[in-house]
C-alpha cells in the first residue's frame, strides 16, 4: 500500500526512520529533477539541484522549520529549489569569473509562482505514471507477451492486427489485453494520485 504524503511527513518526524526518508526521496527526487530539467537545467545540474533541495529540506525539517499549516509541501519544496538554484547560480558565477566558458550558465528559477506550480504538477503526474507503469509491469511480470502487446497497441499506436502477428496471439486477445491493462493502470494511477495528494 502506498503511503500518503501526509503520513509520510508524519513519519519523517523520526530522523532515524530511514524507510520514511527513503520513500520521501524516491517520491520527490524524480519530481525535482524533472522540474529542474523543464526549467532548463542540464541533467547533471538538475540532479545537483534535486540533491541540494532534498538535503536542505531534511535539514530544515529536522530543525522544525516546516509547519504544515503554513502551506503545502510542494510549495515549500519549490521555494527551497528556487533558493538552491539561486545559490548554484551564484557559485557557478564565481567560478566563471575567470572567464571559464566550459561551465554553462544556469537558468534562473524565478518564474512566477503559478508557472512553477504548474510545472511541478506536471512533473508529479509524470512521476506517478512512471511509478504506475512499474507497478503494472511488476504485476504482469510472468506474461511478457501481454505487456508487449499492451505497449504496442495502447502506447505506440501499432495496429492490433500487426500486434497480434508479432506477439503470436489473435486480434481479439490484443483488445482484451489492451482494455484489461489500461483499466488496471487507471486504478494504479488513481491510487497513487490520492497518495501523492497532500491533506493540508
Partner 1 sequence: MDRCPSPAELEAFAVDDAVHPAIAEHVARCDQCRQSANEIRVNHQFIANAGAGLAAAFDALADWPTAAFVHPLPPSGTVPGYELVAELGRGGQGVVYRAYHTDTQRPAAVKMLLAGALASSHQSRRFRREIEIAAGLRHPTIVSVFDSGATTDGRRYVAMEFVEGEALDRYVRDKLPLKRRGTRDRTTQIMGLIRSVAEGVGYAHAQGILHRDLKPSNILVDALGRPRILDFGLARTAETPHGATITQEFAGTPAYAAPEQFVVAFGPVSIRTDVYSLGLLLYIALTQTHPYPCDGPMAEVSRHVVSTEPVPPSRLVPRLPGDVETIVLKALAKDPARRYASAAELATDIEDFLAGRPISARRDSTVYVLRRLAMKHRVPTLALLLVLLAILGAVIGLAVLARGLDRALSDSMVHRPDSSAKPAIPPGRNHCYGRRRSMRICRPTTRWASGGPPRPCGRRGRSWSSTPACRGCCGSRVIHPLRA
Residues at the contact surface with partner 1, assessed by CB under 8 A:
125-126, 129-130, 132-134, 137, 147-148, 151-152, 154-156, 158-160, 162, 165-168, 171-173, 175-176, 178-179, 182-183, 185-186
Cβ-based nearer residue to partner 1, 71 or 159: 159
Task: Kindly state the smallest distance separating residue 151's Cβ from partner 1, in Å.
Answer: 6
Cβ-based nearer residue to partner 1, 125 or 198: 125
SS3 14: coil
Return the H-helix or E-strand segment holding 113. Answer: helix 113-139
Cβ-based nearer residue to partner 1, 73 or 132: 132
Task: Kindly state the smallest distance separating residue 182's Cβ from partner 1, in Å.
Answer: 4
Q: CA-to-CA distance for 26 and 3, rounded, in angstroms?
A: 12
Q: CA-to-CA distance for 136 and 128, rounded, in angstroms?
A: 12
Cβ-based nearer residue to partner 1, 70 or 156: 156
| Angle, CA 132 vertex, CA 156 and CA 33 arms, to 5° | 90
Task: Kindly state the smallest distance separating residue 117's Cβ from partner 1, in Å.
Answer: 18
Cβ-based nearer residue to partner 1, 54 or 132: 132
Task: Kindly state the smallest distance separating residue 144's Cβ from partner 1, in Å.
Answer: 9
Return the H-helix or E-strand segment holding 74. Answer: helix 73-96
Q: CA-to-CA distance for 157 and 48, rounded, in angstroms?
A: 36
Cβ-based nearer residue to partner 1, 82 or 124: 124
Task: Kindly state the smallest distance separating residue 103's Cβ from partner 1, in Å.
Answer: 20
CB 123 within 8 A of CB 39: no
Question: How far lies 188's CA from each of 99, 104, 134, 137, 193, in Å?
Answer: 51, 40, 10, 11, 8
Q: Residues 3, 190, 198, 58: what is their CA dihedral angle, to the nearest 10 degrees?
A: 50
Task: Kindly state the smallest distance separating residue 98's Cβ from partner 1, in Å.
Answer: 26
Amino acid at each position: 500500500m502506498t503511503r500518503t504524503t501526509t503520513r509520510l511527513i508524519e513519519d519523517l518526524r523520526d530522523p532515524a526512520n530511514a524507510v520514511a526518508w527513503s520513500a520521501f526521496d524516491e517520491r520527490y527526487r524524480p519530481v525535482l529533477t524533472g522540474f529542474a530539467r523543464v526549467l532548463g537545467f542540464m541533467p547533471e545540474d538538475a540532479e545537483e539541484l534535486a540533491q541540494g533541495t532534498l538535503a536542505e529540506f531534511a535539514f530544515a525539517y529536522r530543525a522544525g522549520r516546516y509547519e504544515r499549516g503554513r502551506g503545502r509541501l510542494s510549495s515549500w519544496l519549490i521555494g527551497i529549489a528556487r533558493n538552491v538554484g539561486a545559490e548554484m547560480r551564484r557559485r557557478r558565477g564565481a567560478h566563471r569569473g575567470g572567464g571559464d566558458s566550459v561551465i554553462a550558465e544556469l537558468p534562473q528559477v524565478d518564474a512566477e509562482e503559478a508557472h512553477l506550480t504548474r510545472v511541478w504538477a506536471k512533473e508529479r503526474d509524470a512521476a506517478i505514471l512512471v511509478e504506475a507503469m512499474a507497478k503494472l509491469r511488476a504485476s504482469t511480470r510472468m506474461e511478457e507477451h501481454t505487456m508487449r502487446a499492451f505497449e504496442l497497441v495502447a502506447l505506440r499506436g501499432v495496429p492490433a492486427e500487426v500486434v497480434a502477428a508479432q506477439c503470436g496471439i489473435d486480434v481479439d486477445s490484443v483488445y482484451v489485453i489492451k482494455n484489461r491493462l489500461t483499466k488496471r493502470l487507471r486504478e494504479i494511477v488513481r491510487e497513487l494520485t490520492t497518495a501523492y495528494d497532500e491533506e493540508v
